[in-house]
Structures are given as C-alpha cells and as structure tokens.
Amino acid sequence: MIGSGIKRGTAELAVLSVLQDGPLHGYELARRIEQQTNGALRFTLAALYPMLYRMEQQRWIRGTWETSANGRKRRCYRLTPAGKKKLSPLQREWEELFRALQRLTKVAHA
C-alpha cells in the first residue's frame, strides 16, 4: 500500500508540474492531470481541494477569481516563485526514487 507521504508527494508534484504550463482552475487541473497521465492519476474533488488549499497556504500556488469567456467565475491557480523553486528539487527527488525502484525491480527479476 502506498503511504500517505508518497501519495501527497506525487500529488503535489503533479499539480506543480501541470501549473508550470499556465494557470488553471480546479476542475481543469484535475482533467489535465488525468489526461496527461493516461488516467493513471485521478483527482476527485475530495482529494483535490484540501491539497490545493494546503499548497496555497504554503505559498507554492496562488488562487484568484477570474471570469471565463462564457461569464463563469472560476478560481484559477497559478504557480508562485516559491512553487517554481519547490518544483525542481521535487522532480529530482522523484526521478531518483523511480530510478532506484526500477533498478530494484530489475535486480529482483534477474
């Protein structure tokens, strides 16, 4: 079973990575993550918003209300400088972890 720390780490990395391309509102953010991971990562509303609010408190992202072309008000999240700074070490750590796991599974299958 994947521990909550790992789950939280992957979720934060996913959000920060997707927001790197530009601001998005919650629903679109979840849809983009699902699409870009071919459905491997899915965020329900219950999983997404507590995380977004926590990341906002940590000042990694900032949410502002914006009105879309169809007149709907949506809260859009964008990456802050602190979030950008957080992203690269986070990416490196996860790459290292995946490489280590890959090596481990190769050894196990050899």
Partner 1 sequence: MPNWQELVRERLSGLALNPAEREEVHAELAAHLEESYEALVKKGVNQQAAVQRALSQVSNWQDLGRRIQAARTKENIMNDRVRQLWLPGFVTFLLSTSLLALFEVFGAEPPVLVKVGQLPTVMFFIPWLLSLPLVGALGAYLSHRAGGTQRAIFSSILFPVLPFLASILLVLPVSLIFDRFIGHNVAPISLVMALPGWVLAPGVALIAGGLPIQFLRSRRLDTRRTASS
The site for partner 1 (CB under 8 A) is made up of: 25-27, 44-46, 48-51, 53-54, 57-59, 72-75, 82, 85, 96, 99-100
| Nearer Cβ to partner 1 (6/45) | 45
Query: Minimum Å distance from CB 31 to partner 1?
Result: 8
Query: Minimum Å distance from CB 75 to partner 1?
Result: 5
| Nearer Cβ to partner 1 (21/85) | 85
Kindly tell me the burial class for residue 19, based on how many C-beta atoms sit within 10 Å of its own C-beta (0-12, 13-18, 19 or more). Answer: buried
Q: Is 76 helix (H, G, I), strand (E, B) or coil?
A: strand
Task: Look up residue 3 and give its amino acid.
Answer: G
- CA dist 74 and 65 (Å) reads 6
